[in-house]
Amino acid sequence: MAEFGFNEHHQNEVINYMRFARSKRVLRLKTIDSCFEELKDSRLVEETFTVDEVREMLDGLQAVVRGEVEMELINTAHTNVLLLRQLFSQAEKFYLRLQSDISELENRELLEQVAEFEKTDFKTPDKMNQDLSKPKLAPLNEGGVSELLNKEIARLQGENDKLKARLRTLESQAMSALDEKTKAERALKDLRKVQGEKQMAAQSQEISSLEDTVAALKEDYEKSLSVNAASQKDLQENLISAKHELLRVQEQLVLAEKDLEKKFQQTAAYRNMKEILTKKNEQIKEMRKRLQR
């Protein structure tokens, strides 16, 4: 069966099935022959028959032969279904899906090859006895498809292990990025805190100085009231001027604070820290996207 691409085992299986089919065919042909013999022995006992009698005998013979042939065809079809059932059951054990091309069943060239094979391969009695001793439709063991499945499972497990290792690496990198981001935020917060403390100290000192000035002016004003009532108006004006000056200085302090904040944001340390935080945020977003994929 080299033309069909069979190995030795499958070739023996085909031979066993063809031998089974031929035995059933020979048995059915013997049955048909017996129908004709029975007709000859039971009906053809006279020398002359009328047309109606001959037609009756042929109709009866036709019905019998038709029934035998129909029974054989039905039995052959059912037998083929049982054979396919065994093959499909073995294939499903290994998660295979067999397919058949019905059009190839009428391929005259292949049918002639099968007929030629049947004529040439069934002649040696020793080979027939050897084929009969072989098991029919032995299930597949650890070779063939099972070995391929095991290799595929091993390959998938290896890929799964690689993906797990890659995931652990990504998680480690993400945790490192988060730690760096936390450290950078803490450093920026500390830097802002130091700058704020310095600024508050300078403002407090200026306010204290202004308060001392106001207190001194008030004291002078009270003294001047006790000394000279005429100068009370001048002292009041000086006090009002001092209050206005205090408000002006406070406004300047607010402007100076805003200017200091603006200058601080323009410093290289602030820009570097902000750039580091921006990069870390982008890295964390990229890590999260990769982890989600």
Per-residue pLDDT, 228: 65
Residue numbers of the domain that contains 68? 8-123
Within-domain flag for 118:
yes
pLDDT tens string 231-247: 667 778 878 888 888 88
pLDDT at 291 over 70: yes
Residue type, 217: L
Query: What angle separates helix 51-93 from helix 8-42, to the nearest 10 degrees?
Result: 160
Examine residue 155 and state whether it is found in any structural domain, yes or no. no
Number of domains in the chain: 1
In a domain, 37, yes or no: yes
What is the model's pLDDT at position 127? Answer: 47
Helix (H) or strand (E) holding 4: none
- Give tens-digit pLDDT for 53-100: 888 888 888 888 888 888 888 888 888 889 888 888 888 888 888 887
Residue 13 lies in a domain: yes
Read off the amino acid at residue 58. L
Q: What is the pLDDT of residue 128?
A: 45
| Band of residue 145 on the pLDDT scale cut at 50, 70, 90 | low
Model confidence pTM above 0.95: no
Structural domain contains residue 216: no
Q: pLDDT band at 284, cuts 50/70/90?
A: very high
Q: Is residue 78 part of a domain?
A: yes
Q: Does residue 42 sit within a domain?
A: yes
pLDDT in tens, 12-28: 888 888 888 888 888 88
C-alpha to C-alpha distance for 111 and 105, rounded to whole angstroms: 8
Examine residue 2 and state whether it is found in any structural domain, yes or no.
no
